[in-house]
Chain A
């Protein structure tokens, strides 16, 4: 009996709703607040608006009750309640009530994500593409317009099962993509003919230039003609490439690129507007008389591709005629042949003054078939030419394929259904390969392929199965399906052993596929998707371009990868004496001595005003809008991503910051916010938020250091910035450096926040109250490991938490 009670008790703890566990704060904080400020109107006696709070249960599992709590928070936050005639509650109390409600709502939401017997967590489009590639050796262009819709996010995470829904559009796209992939992987006809389409300078110059080719041949200088490309030439000319056979193509570009002294190198960008895909971009430096040939490989679907060839560095408006090709027949054969009204490339001594490109040719060579039949064909039709093409052979083929695709053993009934498809197809006249492909198509469009299944209907459990564990691990670190070793370990039941999992983490992190984790996790954790979401104003920030934007993101993901690879401490996220830079970003930061576009580790000095995540341009930029920095956004981001305590949402109808009258002195955003914060309804939250954002006021909207704020409206000099502040616990700081020192003192708290993010990413759901014990244990373990990142990942995977649904 006692044992039974214990089991029941344990179960009750494990499955406790957040509400049940929140009694302490409810009793000491919420109830007294409601009693003092709300019950007189919304109690049993009056129940104004038919709304009672005296008997409102803190059950956030109920959508109806959760909605009521949300409304209470909103009305109190906005100052609607209590009404004007009643005394105002202290701002701190309002803030605490809001935090309590937000916390409970989040927990309820997270708990709801794992409530089913079997959870189906759809593959993200990145995972879908990686998995298809792993299975069939074919690139699926999921981000193309013909690909898959972008995955929605939940607090930055784009892999949360509860929000990854499946629409009819998905079904159509999955069918089309998988069919195309199978056709490419298992071609039934002869080996596709590899052909080279060559665009010479006359093609590349576009317009009516082609008609002059013969004339230049007659002159004997056709081979000297080149396409000159000015900076920021935009997308004036599309060049159409007709792809008859899908596949990988080798693209070779012969060109020169001239960089002005002290300036940027020209940057070649090939953008396929038909499929909205950046095919290639690279800084190019090669003298006029010594062109280089660049080569890249890309996968192209069938159809007409409109390729834009750009010099992606800032320059005059691309629509301006001075930026365009001439319409008189004077093709570029040398710098002296340019038209006088075009933008000037070189000074009077012939040295470049703008970064410009001179293109000779582009070759599209493909489809490249590395072997024939394709590796996927040989793997799937494993019996080779000598195999007897009957249903038994088909059954073997499908069983092997489906087990890998579904990442679990296939049940006989499932296999029967799939083989039946082959049989039917054969009957209607399909040859063996085509019939099998029909079945494989079904495999790739079944729920077991498209979803990661967690749990068993037949045997409900709070833990995932061995096979599911293999998938969780591989999709966590590789964003792709398990490899054979993981399948073998799952089959043997060895993945349950923590030490095996630790060893697997080490193996998997050393695998190139782990780049997916190093790229994807920081992007989602830090919400890097928002970088460039509000494109900086071209007038205020003319130097901002896509290359800078990419470099910003690459710094942060590279920074994460460096810490992971070196198994460095999480403390480095908070502050560091190094960062990852390329020339473009180093120039942006005013750091010299960095050349080239690859990211590399660069030591920092205090005068660089950088170190850690929070002073990286990506973070400073994503927390700004297109025109100015946003201290409140920065503070909110800090609370969400670094502190791990997101603030409640702002009340409705918050007025915008006022623009001062023209005759008044210029004021900083901070000064404008002061008046905003004087409102008691705002003060509670802003006391927590603003100091964390204002500390980084010395960084403008695109992350450049400054001492004064550039202010357009008002009179007098631009005002100096004041980054000082005080944390809610009373600790004061003078600037961002001092704040980072305070945050380093709180490394354990940051480690807790970070671990929660890691768990959210890996488990594909929000963490709940029920996860707190394991999370606490992990943070303690991390502390004893010196907060080493790779160790933390290892410990996390080895922990029981990783097995939980």
Chain B
């Protein structure tokens, strides 16, 4: 018992900072609030085109539960409260995984890590400057875990946490799902030997639970090997997409571009040789999500006339600044705008589906992946939108005038009650207990399973998207569209594909975009565009055809259409209905479409 207590205390040490009530001090180095100092100062507010200074981000630990690869956004659940948080990777935002740069798609769902965040304009910590998994954080501190004793049967590895000196004993929790790596190969827990230097990543960490290891890497060589493997994976990723950076200044046809990177030394080692003076890179305009429009067509050939070392500290700096002279200046070649730079010889091809904003012909994009004019060109909208113009008022409905697109504000919430006759209802706003009364405007529509319907068709308890306008009092109560999650999936041709099933009532699923035709006209399944944790419980209904089945009927690879409940504090969102397989989807969609709307 004493031993167990000790283990718990020792294990908790690395996180003591999080949970203890530190007394913040004044630190004159920072003109802003930090996690450890200057509590009376405001947090650093990121500005477009500027790297946030080192030390300015607020650290929150948690595990990744949703990742949108295309928009570089996601969600994580905090370790201390279990709260669901959104994050957005700014253009320079870095993912540090296995001690090297990575993309969101490289990080397994559930991985526990450190989120270094800046506040958005509303004060919410959503701007993710950098994310580090435990492997990376420990490596940066020179820490490894020397195995003292392994008790796989008990799900425990006893180890000494040490850097240059011992930092204490710790217990690493393992399970049947823990992956063990030795050299370049997968091993078993039983293969671990006393004295092995371990590095781990974990999942399931909460205030009271140290979680368990998802992966254990044994041996210093293994650590280097896995880092190098991830580095090469990311190098291939970047060569296909170009290195991102933004424009510091323009002079005539010369651009000064500071490249983004998570680690300066690593970045220089990886890329400097490809960007030497006199080389001919291609510069491609990019949006803040690092999505390009059409690189094979948009690219502008240039010549590197100077390579500067960027020695300033800050998040996202790759440490290299290029001066490139291009043939033609494009509108996207402006101070503070983001570009991608392809070194000479790198392939300049169409980007994977969804990552390119401009597609010809048959490769048109579903709504959720399309270029968003209010985001890219806010000047086109003389009112506030969900994507910009925060200082403008929202559009107000006018009698007899069809409202313009993007004028509505999207709100998520769980449908609580409806009055079909009066076309009104009530929903609980997502992630809160706030109840909102709403009414459908005369032109307002409701869709369930992508079929137009009455409000009554959507089961109460379903999380919906409400497209809302303000009422006379300024409250968002006037709905023009109410849809369930399945409608959104169907409208976008998207599905969830089961990647793994967890005993804990979780499904890790990949978001699969619709199939397309490639340039030769052949059908093709584009790569996944995201990943998410779907929860279920005994109340969740699983369907195969007409038949209600159980979670046990799910299999890896199944394609799912789902509806979910709302997220409430202490009550994570879970699936209400899961429709399994393409035949089921077809049947249920057609059946819903056949249901006629009762006349009002």
Contact = CB atoms under 8 A, between A and B. Distances in A.
A348 B251 CA distance: 9
A220 interface: yes
B332 interface: yes
Given A218-B404, A219-B404, A344 B333 contact: yes
Contact of A344 (B249, B330, B371, B402): B330
B298 interface: yes
B370 to A, nearest CB: 9
Interface in A296-330: 316, 321-322, 327-330
Contact of B334 (A221, A329, A331, A348): A348
A337 B380 contact: yes
Given A218-B403, A333-B379, A340 B328 contact: no
Nearest to B383: A219
A536 B358 CA distance: 36
A646 B480 CA distance: 84
Interface string B376-411: 110111110000000000000000011111010000
B331 A339 contact: yes
Contacts of B205: none
Interface string B292-307: 0110011010000000
Contact of B330 (A327, A328, A331, A340): A340
B285 interface: yes
A321 B335 CA distance: 22
B329 A343 contact: yes
Contacts of B373: 328-330
B250 interface: yes
A217 B352 CA distance: 36
A128 interface: no
B6 to A, nearest CB: 59
Contacts of A651: none
A340 B293 contact: yes
Contacts of B335: 348
Nearest to A341: B298
Interface size class of A (residues with CB under 8 A): 20 to 34
A340 B332 contact: yes
B330 A218 contact: no
B337 interface: yes
Contacts of B401: 218
Nearest to B295: A341
A339 B379 CA distance: 12
B331 A321 contact: no
Contacts of B337: 340
A219 B382 contact: yes
A745 to B, nearest CB: 51
A591 B334 CA distance: 34
Interface string A673-711: 000000000000000000000000000000000000000
B404 A347 contact: no
A342 B330 contact: yes
Interface string A325-363: 001111101101111111111011000010000000000
Interface string A210-249: 0000111011110000000000000000000000000000
B40 to A, nearest CB: 37
Nearest to A353: B329
Interface string B343-386: 00000000000000010000000000001010011011111000
Given A218-B401, A341-B294, A341-B298, A330 B380 contact: yes
Contacts of B331: 338-345
A358 to B, nearest CB: 14
Contacts of B297: 321, 341
B292 to A, nearest CB: 9
A343 to B, nearest CB: 6
A219 B332 contact: no
Nearest to B249: A348
B376 A341 contact: no
Nearest to B293: A341
Nearest to A334: B379
Contacts of A216: 404
Contacts of B405: 215
Contacts of B358: 327-328, 341
Contacts of B332: 340-341
Contacts of B379: 333-334, 336-337
Nearest to A215: B404
Nearest to B395: A219
A407 to B, nearest CB: 59
Nearest to A322: B330
Contact of B328 (A220, A329, A333, A343): A343
B375 to A, nearest CB: 11
Contacts of A316: 328
A247 to B, nearest CB: 40
Contacts of B371: 328
B376 to A, nearest CB: 7
Chain B CB within 10 Å — which of A218, A316, A330, A339 has the most? A339
B366 to A, nearest CB: 15
B404 A331 contact: no
A214 B334 CA distance: 32
A216 B297 CA distance: 29
Contacts of B380: 219, 221, 330-331, 333, 337
Interface string B259-286: 0000000000000000000000000011
A331 B380 CA distance: 8
B351 to A, nearest CB: 14
Contact of A348 (B250, B383, B402): B250
Interface in A83-97: none
Contact of B285 (A330, A331, A337, A340): A340
Chain A CB within 10 Å — which of B287, B328, B401, B405 has the most? B328
A299 B249 CA distance: 51
A541 to B, nearest CB: 18
Contacts of B286: 340
Given A338-B331, A341-B285, A330 B294 contact: no
A338 B285 CA distance: 13
Chain B CB within 10 Å — which of A321, A330, A341, A344 has the most? A341
Contacts of B329: 343-344, 353
Nearest to B251: A347
A328 B370 CA distance: 10
Interface in A106-122: none
B246 to A, nearest CB: 12
A341 B404 contact: no
A322 B377 contact: no
A217 to B, nearest CB: 9
Contacts of A348: 249-250, 334-335
B402 A218 contact: yes
Nearest to B381: A219
Nearest to B285: A340
Contact of A337 (B249, B300, B330, B377): B377
Contacts of A327: 358
Contacts of A220: 382
Nearest to B339: A340
Chain A CB within 10 Å — which of B287, B377, B383 has the most? B377
Interface of B: 249-250, 285-287, 293-294, 297-298, 300, 328-335, 337, 358, 371, 373, 376-377, 379-383, 401-405, 407
30 contacts: A215-B404, A216-B404, A218-B402, A219-B404, A219-B407, A221-B382, A321-B294, A321-B297, A321-B298, A322-B298, A322-B330, A327-B358, A328-B371, A328-B373, A330-B376, A331-B380, A334-B379, A337-B377, A337-B379, A340-B285, A340-B287, A340-B293, A341-B294, A341-B331, A342-B330, A343-B328, A343-B330, A344-B331, A347-B250, A348-B334
Given A218-B401, A340-B332, A348-B250, 8 more contacts: A321-B297, A331-B380, A336-B379, A340-B293, A341-B285, A341-B294, A348-B249, A348-B334
**CB-CB nearest 8 A-B residue pairs:** A340-B332, A340-B285, A218-B404, A344-B329, A341-B298, A330-B377, A219-B404, A338-B331
Interface of A: 214-216, 218-221, 316, 321-322, 327-331, 333-334, 336-345, 347-348, 353
